[in-house]
């Protein structure tokens, strides 16, 4: 193989792993330890008015608990707005019953399925407060999370949005346990590193706080966005708004427990990333914050790495088959190689650091650390496969086609 290509295949994941590990640790030391971290939000933050928005599509199984958690938050001035996006199960009936028992819950109905972005738009237009806290229909929000998000937005007028810290609650399977490690070692570490530069690649759709005036200024969430959370993140940042990560704003979420569900979820994420790249690649040469240029450059390199890895793997398999057929098996190299060992070591180190940092917010994470050794292999293989499949699919997708929900890809659904 060309030494330059071989070097890129080795150095790109190595550099990114080291960057995320050191950056995540640095952010933790700078912003999450000592008095600044705190265990409970300041009393004054409980007085900040907030509107909780819950877009729902076929969430009957978890909806009562989700709304119940939302209505039990530690806030003295809040409302909850749930939007039924044309559900075909009992979601509408459950919301109607819940609204009768608590006047703080308002219910909107879109009649037919129009997509999560449309549901968020509808709710944002009727909210009573400037700060919007958006969560998913199966998310269990921590009582203090809205106060932490609201405090960050109230403190900094240039902050357009802040994302919270999702914690996985369905950990009964190996796949669930592996994803616990991913959310700590990958998602949490990346967000910490990115916030050192006042930007994020994506605000987690499962929990994020927004300044309503900022959302209105960028014309809300894109109706044709395959991942509305990535779309709004880039809209806000290109308009000059800062974004950040608040690890104390916790929310318990469901993640896929089957390979089919995980593949479907990650393919959707990859397609959303491809769409974001196509719409924002001009940040590399047009006027834009330098942090966004770094984010876009990293995305392009990641895509190039994925395609190159697949190409070299296929080439290697072909050469392997030819060698076997020729009978010259003595020339085969069966070893993992020092490069593979180095990458595996970096991945495990990153995982260990991420778990150590998140143990503060998820005390039970240590009990499943033995299962997390599979994290580096699963993550890189899944990311590569979904990237290679997603980009051609997005390229062939008709422009302007509205993104609607097919079915929830979380849990056992």
DSSP 184-220: IIIIIHHHHHHHTTT--S---TTEEEEEHHHHHHTTS
Per-residue model confidence (pLDDT) at position 411: 40
Considering only CA atoms, which of 365, 191, 392 is closest in space to residue 275? 392
Per-residue model confidence (pLDDT) at position 206: 94
| Distance, CA of 180 to CA of 192 (rounded, Å) | 17
The two structure tokens encoding residue 226: 């395959």
Mean pLDDT of the chain: 87
Per-residue model confidence (pLDDT) at position 231: 95
The two structure tokens encoding residue 359: 């143990």
Per-residue model confidence (pLDDT) at position 105: 96
* Cross-strand pairs, 79: 51
| Distance, CA of 189 to CA of 346 (rounded, Å) | 14
Q: Quote the crossing angle between the two packed helices 3-31 and 290-326, to the nearest 10°.
A: 140
DSSP 36-99: GT-SS--GGGGGS-EEEEEEESS-TTTHHHHHHHHHTSS-SSEEEEEEE-S-SSSHHHHHHHHH
| Distance, CA of 58 to CA of 91 (rounded, Å) | 6
Per-residue model confidence (pLDDT) at position 38: 59
Pairing of strands 159-168, 78-84: unpaired
| Phi, psi of 44, rounded to the nearest 5 degrees | -65, -30
Sheet harboring 207-211: ordered strands across?
105-109, 78-84, 50-56, 131-135, 207-211, 159-168, 242-253, 140-141
Per-residue model confidence (pLDDT) at position 35: 54
Residues in the chain where the model's pLDDT stays below 70: 1, 34-38, 185, 319-320, 322-324, 327-337, 369-377, 405-413
The sign of the dihedral angle between the CA atoms of 195, 242, 285, 283 is positive
Cβ contact 239:133 at 8 Å: no
If residue 254 lies in a helix (H) or strand (E), which one and from where to where? none
| Distance, CA of 280 to CA of 320 (rounded, Å) | 40
């Amino acid at each position: 193989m060309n030494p330059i290509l071989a070097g890129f295949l080795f150095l790109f994941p190595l550099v990114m792993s080291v960057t995320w590990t050191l950056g995540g640790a640095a952010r933790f030391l700078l912003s999450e330890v000592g008095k600044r971290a705190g265990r409970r939000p300041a009393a004054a933050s409980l007085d900040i008015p907030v509107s909780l928005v819950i877009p729902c599509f076929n969430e009957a199984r978890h909806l009562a608990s989700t709304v119940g958690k939302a209505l039990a938050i530690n806030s003295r001035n809040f409302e909850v707005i749930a939007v039924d996006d044309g559900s075909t199960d009992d979601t509408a009936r459950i919301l109607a019953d819940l609204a009768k028992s608590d006047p703080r819950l308002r219910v909107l109905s879109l009649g037919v399925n129009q997509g999560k972005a449309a549901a968020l738009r509808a709710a944002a237009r009727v909210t009573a407060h400037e700060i919007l806290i958006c969560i998913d229909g199966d998310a269990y929000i921590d009582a203090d999370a809205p106060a932490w998000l609201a405090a960050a937005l109230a403190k900094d007028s240039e902050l357009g949005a802040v994302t919270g810290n999702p914690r996985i609650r369905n950990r009964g399977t190996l796949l669930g346990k592996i994803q616990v490690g991913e959310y700590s070692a990958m998602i949490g570490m990346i967000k910490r590193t990115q916030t050192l530069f006042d930007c994020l690649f994506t605000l987690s759709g499962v929990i994020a706080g927004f300044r309503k005036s900022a959302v209105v200024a960028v014309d809300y969430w894109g109706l044709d966005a395959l991942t509305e959370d990535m779309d709004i993140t880039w809209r806000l940042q290109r308009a000059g708004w800062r974004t950040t990560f608040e690890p104390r704003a916790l929310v318990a979420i469901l993640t896929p427990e089957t390979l089919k569900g995980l593949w479907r979820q990650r393919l959707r994420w990859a397609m959303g990333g491809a769409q974001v790249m196509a719409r924002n690649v001009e940040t590399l040469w047009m006027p834009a914050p330098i942090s966004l240029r770094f984010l876009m450059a990293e995305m392009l390199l990641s895509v190039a790495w994925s395609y190159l890895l697949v190409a070299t793997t296929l080439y290697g398999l072909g050469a392997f088959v030819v060698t076997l057929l020729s009978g010259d098996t003595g020339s085969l190299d069966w070893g993992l190689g020092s490069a593979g060992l180095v990458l595996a070591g970096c991945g495990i180190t990153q995982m260990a650091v991420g778990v150590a940092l998140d143990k503060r917010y998820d005390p039970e994470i240590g009990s499943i650390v033995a299962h997390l050794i599979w994290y580096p292999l699963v993550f890189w293989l899944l990311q590569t496969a979904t990237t290679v499949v997603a980009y051609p699919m997005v390229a062939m997708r008709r422009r302007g086609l509205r993104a609607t929900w097919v079915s929830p890809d979380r849990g056992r659904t």
